[in-house]
């Protein structure tokens, strides 16, 4: 018995048991959100589209009398529609979450300019050029311009 309790304590104190419990709790809360979205928002909208048709009430009556069996194909259709709506809602939510968690691509680093315009002849010269190869003017790196 002591050994059993020890093992149980070891089992319960493992991190993944807590993770699992959190997952189940969040999962059931999430289920409530999805069900509410389907039953309270999507189904009424679908009802408008189908002209207020209540799928669940559709059935074939097999036999005669009050005790006759019914083939409730309407309930089956409602279950299929429910499943499709839930699948669609979950797909949409997961798609939105993926979009949020996706890392934004890093902006390409802007390269420092390699060329500058010679202030005298307006030709392009290397950024660190001290003399223009086109007009032979002396270009100073400190911004001062010397003319020879």
Residues that bind Zn ion (CB under 5 A): 118, 120-121, 132, 134-135, 137
**What whole-number distance in Å separates Cα of residue 6 and Cα of residue 82?**
46
Min CB(114)–Zn ion separation in Å: 17
Compare residues 46 and 124 and give the one whose CB is closer to Zn ion.
Answer: 124
In this structure, the number of other CB atoms found within 10 A of the CB of residue 89 comes to 17
Min CB(144)–Zn ion separation in Å: 15
Min CB(136)–Zn ion separation in Å: 7
Compare residues 95 and 134 and give the one whose CB is closer to Zn ion.
Answer: 134
CA dist 68 → 133, 145, 146 (Å): 104, 106, 109
Find, among 85, 94, 75, 76, the residue nearest to 35 by Cα: 85
Min CB(111)–Zn ion separation in Å: 23
Compare residues 72 and 137 and give the one whose CB is closer to Zn ion.
Answer: 137
Compare residues 82 and 137 and give the one whose CB is closer to Zn ion.
Answer: 137
CA dist 124 → 114, 128, 135 (Å): 10, 12, 11
């Amino acid at each position: 018995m002591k050994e059993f309790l020890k093992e149980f304590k070891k089992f319960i104190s493992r991190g993944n048991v807590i993770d699992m419990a959190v997952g189940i709790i969040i999962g059931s809360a999430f289920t409530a959100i999805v069900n509410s979205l389907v039953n309270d928002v999507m189904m009424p909208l679908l009802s408008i589209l189908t002209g207020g048709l209540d799928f669940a009430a559709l059935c074939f009556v097999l036999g005669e009398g009050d005790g006759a069996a019914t083939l409730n194909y309407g309930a089956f259709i409602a279950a299929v529609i429910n499943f499709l709506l839930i699948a669609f809602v979950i797909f949409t939510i997961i798609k939105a979450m993926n979009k949020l968690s996706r890392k934004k691509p890093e902006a390409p680093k802007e390269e420092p300019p390699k060329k500058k315009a010679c202030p005298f002849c307006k030709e392009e010269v290397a950024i660190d050029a001290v003399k223009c190869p086109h007009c032979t003017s002396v270009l100073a790196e400190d911004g001062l311009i010397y003319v020879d």
